[in-house]
Amino acid sequence: MIAEQIAQTISSMPEPLRTLMTWVFSEAFIKAAVFPGALFSTVLGMFAVWYERKLLARVMLRVGPLHVGKVSGVLQLVADAVKFLAKERITPSGAIRPLFWTMPSAALILSLLLYAFLPFGAGWIIYPSEIGLLLFFAVLALSPVPILLAAYASGSKYPFIGLVRLALQLFGYEVPLFLALAGVVMMAGSFNIERIVQAQSVVPFVVPQVLGFLVFFIAALAESERVPFDIPTAESEIVFGWQTEYSGAHFVT
């Protein structure tokens, strides 16, 4: 009923606006922008970071995020983002400006692009492909490139130290990350991520491949620079790693 009313409203609009609204309400745009696209991935990432901060606080006998949001500071990350967006953007004197300003956005785009290959339900996938897993890891392998270029373009020694640490860590853990999934591909007999998920409908692959799951989990933590693999940022040693010279909106991205 609601869909019919929306269709009637769109059909009564003038031509330029009607074409635009038809595209906005199309299934492809909703998948890319809302679910399982950019909006859903952003909200999911915010919740994951909030949960990680609360969990680490519990381990360290602290409270963690508390005041922003009625439920245990669940909106703390939103407040942090607003704070950083309000700050001035400063360009270091020795920076390579084109790379320095564009690479954070490129890194964000590549990160969001990974969601195009992940199925969130039957038919709920932005880009279905028979080699979806290979495409996923191809994009994942390219993801560090904008970060490395951003650190190099900063023209500062602290981002450069973070750059070296990040490169060594990523190159060291990408191999076990890929090898851990080799067993999954062999058991499913396909690189199609949807088929891999469907093949686990009876018995999850984590049951016969516990060791592979542990290797994948540890390597994934290292790839995402999460605790305890946060050496590239190392706040107590090199300020904030490769992000040291960034402020404002570019630090948020």
Q: Summarize pLDDT for 208-252 with one digit per residue, the tens.
A: 999 999 999 999 888 888 778 877 776 666 566 777 777 777 766
Question: pLDDT tens digits, residue range 132-144?
Answer: 899 998 898 888 8
How many other CB atoms are there within 10 angstroms of residue 51's CB atom? Answer: 14
Tell me how far CA of residue 114 lies from CA of 37, 109, 133, 137, 146, in angstroms.
10, 9, 10, 9, 15
**Comparing C-alpha atoms, which of 167, 153, 175, 183 is closest to residue 245?**
153
Residue 148 predicted with pLDDT over 80:
yes
Residue 107 binned pLDDT confidence (cut-offs 50, 70, 90): confident
Q: Which helix (H) or strand (E) holds 40?
A: helix 38-59
The model carries a pTM of 0.73
Kindly report, residue by residue over 154-210, the tens digit of the pLDDT.
888 888 888 888 888 888 888 899 899 888 999 999 999 989 988 988 889 999 999
Q: What pLDDT score was predicted for residue 166?
A: 82
What pLDDT is attached to residue 1?
58
Give 62-88 pLDDT, tens digit per residue.
888 878 877 788 888 888 888 878 887
Residue ranges of domains in the chain:
94-246
Q: According to the model, what pLDDT value does residue 91 have?
A: 82
- Alpha-carbon distance 107 to 150, whole Å? 9
What pLDDT does residue 77 have?
82
Q: Is the pLDDT of residue 127 over 90?
A: no
pLDDT mean over 53-68:
83
CB contact at 8 A, 128 and 118: no
152-191 burial, b for 16+ CB within 10 Å, e for fewer?
Answer: bbbbbebbbbbbebbbebbeebbeebeebbebbeebbebb
